[in-house]
Amino acid sequence: MTGEESLRPQSLMLTFLGDQVLGRDVCVYSGSVIDVFARVGVGEQATRSTLTRMVNRGLLRRQREGRRMYFGLTERSAAVLRDGEHRIWQTGAVNRHWDGSWTLLGFSLPESWQRQRHDLRSQLTWSGFGPLFSGLWIAPGEVDVSSLVAELGLSAHVKVFRAHADAGMDIGAMIEETWELAELAARYAAFVRRWQPWLTERADAEDALALRLRLQAEWLRVIRQDPRLPVRHLPDDWPAEEAEKTFRAVHERFTPLAREASERLLDLVPVRDGQA
């Protein structure tokens, strides 16, 4: 499945707003969003539905100016976007500075709690954990899962430890047994195949704006599925570094044209308190 087929409109919307609105105290006109999303292949009805759903979920705020409706970020969505921004530009895809520590999380839930077990496993996977054994999960470094566990209401059923492996432990083998490395490597390789050609292909300003939006959304999706395993224990041909170089180079190439298109196409207004 290609990135074009699998990216959800909400993911694109958050990426778009993070790029154009985050930190600026402005709202963007719905018509501008519709125009940009049409260039990414998202129809008007899908874009309007996404805006409405995100307002209902507390991820967007509405602000009316005359007959036009504008949309901006809430505190919740801004926090999500700042986290993504940090992951892209500061944390990165390659973990070269691992301190040798692990976070171990053990849980024991009643047999009938199938939904809670599924939710916990999903959240742990999203947070970079892998199943060392059925009820014992592990992640590299120090991972704070207190809010995750509390939100699921499972604090009494979960135990968390920090640990180091014994000197004779084959960490590389443990990683291969715990995480789907082939699947993760394939996602990085697919990203490189899709985006490297854009280091030389030409794009006009409007296309560059749409392409940079999709580039950022696809890259964030890939790295958020990566537990950031220590690179010294990964295969020598691990493709994350090449993928990250590709992302940064293509992003840099698109940025001047994308900014030009943004200034021309986007109708922005300052945020006014009390609007919803």
Instruction: List, for residues 64-94, the tens digit of each pLDDT value.
Output: 999 999 999 999 999 989 988 998 998 889 9
Whether the predicted model's global pTM rises above the 0.85 cut: yes
- List of the chain residues with pLDDT < 50: 1-5, 276
Is residue 256 within 8 Å of residue 214, measured between CB atoms?
Answer: no
Domain with CATH 3.30.70.240 in the chain: 101-164
Q: Residue 229 in 3-state DSSP?
A: coil
Is residue 40 within 8 Å of residue 244, measured between CB atoms?
Answer: no
Is residue 267 within 8 Å of residue 28, measured between CB atoms?
Answer: yes
| CATH, domain 101-164, list 3.40.50.2300, 3.30.70.240, 3.40.50.2000, 3.10.20.740 | 3.30.70.240
- Tell me which architecture the domain covering 3-77+266-270 has in CATH: Orthogonal Bundle (1.10)
Domain with CATH 1.10.10.10 in the chain: 3-77+266-270
